[in-house]
C-alpha cells in the first residue's frame, strides 16, 4: 500500500487537485473533470488508475452515488501538509481584521473573522479564561452536510461549553508549530464531521487562542493565510 513517501509526483498532484476542486465545488471529482481542467499529460483512463491507487492508499474514496472521488481525512491531511511545506506564501490579509486584532476589539474581530472564513470562530485568553468570544455558528450549521441530527446537538452543546473543553488542548500548545489542524477527530468538538484550526498569539501581554471550526471541506489555504498573517502582523 502506498504511503506519503511512496506517492509519485504525479499522484501527489492529482490528489492535491481532487482536494482543491472538492473544496471549491463540494461535488465528487471525476477523471474527466481533471482531464479537462488540468494538464497532467495523461488520458482519463490513466487518471482513473491513479484514483484506484489513491483509493487503496486511503487518500480518496469513491462517492456512493457517482464514479467521482472525494477526499478522506487522510487526503485532507496530506493536502494540509503540502500547504504547510509551501515556501514563500503570500499571507497578506484584511488590514481591518489585523487592526481589530491588534487593538483587542475582539467581539468585532471574531464576527469578521468568522464571516471571512465562513466558520465558527472562537477567541479565548488561555489558560486564565477571563474572556471568550464566539461567532459564526450559523455558518458552520449551514455548511455541514448533516447525516445525523445528533451531530448538530453535540456541536451546539460543545460550542456553549467550549471553555471547559479547552483544558484538553494544553499538550498541543507545547508543539513547535503555532498553528494546528485537526481533520475529523479533534479535542474540542464531539463530532468527526468537522475540522478545527487552532493558533496561539500574544497581543497586549495577553496569551490568546484563536480557533476556526468548519466543515472538512473548509478553505484550508485561506485559513492558513489568515492565521499566519495575524502572526506576522501582530
pLDDT in tens, 153-197: 777 887 777 777 776 666 666 566 779 999 988 878 777 888 999
Cα 76 → chain centroid: 8
Rounded distance between C-alpha atoms, residue 124 and residue 133, angstroms: 6
Architecture in CATH for domain 4-85: Orthogonal Bundle (1.10)
Would you state the pLDDT for residue 176?
65
Residues 55-79: tens digit of each pLDDT = 999 999 987 777 799 999 999 999 9
CATH number corresponding to 95-233: 3.30.450.40
Would you state the pLDDT for residue 160?
77
Q: Has residue 2 got a pLDDT over 60?
A: no
Q: Has residue 5 got a pLDDT over 70?
A: no
State what percent of residues in the chain have pLDDT above 90.
55
Would you state the pLDDT for residue 87?
66
Residues 29-53: tens digit of each pLDDT = 999 999 999 999 999 999 999 999 9
* pTM of the entire predicted model: 0.87
Domain regions of the chain by residue span:
4-85, 95-233
Would you state the pLDDT for residue 28?
94
Would you state the pLDDT for residue 154?
76
Cell of 167: 483544558
Between 165 and 109, residue with greater pLDDT: 109
Contacts of residue 190, Cβ cutoff 8 Å, sequence gap at least 6: 154, 155, 157, 158
Between 207 and 172, residue with greater pLDDT: 207
DSSP string, 147-203: S-HHHHHHHHHHHHTHHHHGGGGTTGGGSS-SEEEEESS-SS-S-SSEEEEEEEEEE
Q: Has residue 144 got a pLDDT over 50?
A: yes
Q: Is the separation of the CB atoms in 48 and 31 below 8 Å?
A: yes
Amino acid at each position: 500500500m502506498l504511503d506519503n513517501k511512496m506517492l509519485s509526483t504525479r499522484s501527489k498532484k492529482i490528489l492535491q487537485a481532487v482536494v482543491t476542486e472538492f473544496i471549491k465545488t463540494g461535488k465528487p471529482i471525476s477523471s474527466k473533470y481533471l482531464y479537462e481542467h488540468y494538464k497532467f499529460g495523461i488520458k482519463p483512463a490513466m487518471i482513473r488508475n491513479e484514483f484506484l491507487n489513491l483509493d487503496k492508499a486511503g487518500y480518496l474514496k469513491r462517492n456512493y452515488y457517482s464514479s467521482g472521488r472525494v477526499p478522506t481525512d487522510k487526503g485532507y491531511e496530506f493536502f494540509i501538509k503540502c500547504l504547510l511545506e509551501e515556501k514563500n506564501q503570500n499571507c497578506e490579509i484584511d488590514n481591518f481584521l489585523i487592526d481589530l486584532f491588534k487593538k483587542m476589539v475582539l467581539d468585532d474581530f471574531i464576527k469578521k473573522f468568522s464571516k471571512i472564513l465562513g466558520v465558527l470562530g472562537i477567541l479565548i485568553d488561555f489558560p486564565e479564561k477571563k474572556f471568550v468570544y464566539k461567532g459564526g455558528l450559523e455558518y458552520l450549521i449551514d455548511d455541514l452536510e448533516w447525516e445525523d441530527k445528533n451531530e448538530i446537538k453535540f456541536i451546539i452543546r460543545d460550542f456553549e461549553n467550549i471553555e471547559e473543553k479547552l483544558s484538553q488542548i494544553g499538550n498541543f500548545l507545547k508543539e513547535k508549530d503555532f498553528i494546528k489542524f485537526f481533520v475529523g477527530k479533534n479535542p474540542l468538538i464531539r463530532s468527526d464531521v468537522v475540522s478545527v484550526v487552532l493558533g496561539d498569539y500574544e497581543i497586549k501581554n495577553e496569551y490568546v487562542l484563536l480557533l476556526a471550526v468548519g466543515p472538512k471541506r473548509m478553505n484550508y489555504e485561506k485559513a492558513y493565510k489568515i492565521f499566519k498573517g495575524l502572526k506576522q502582523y501582530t
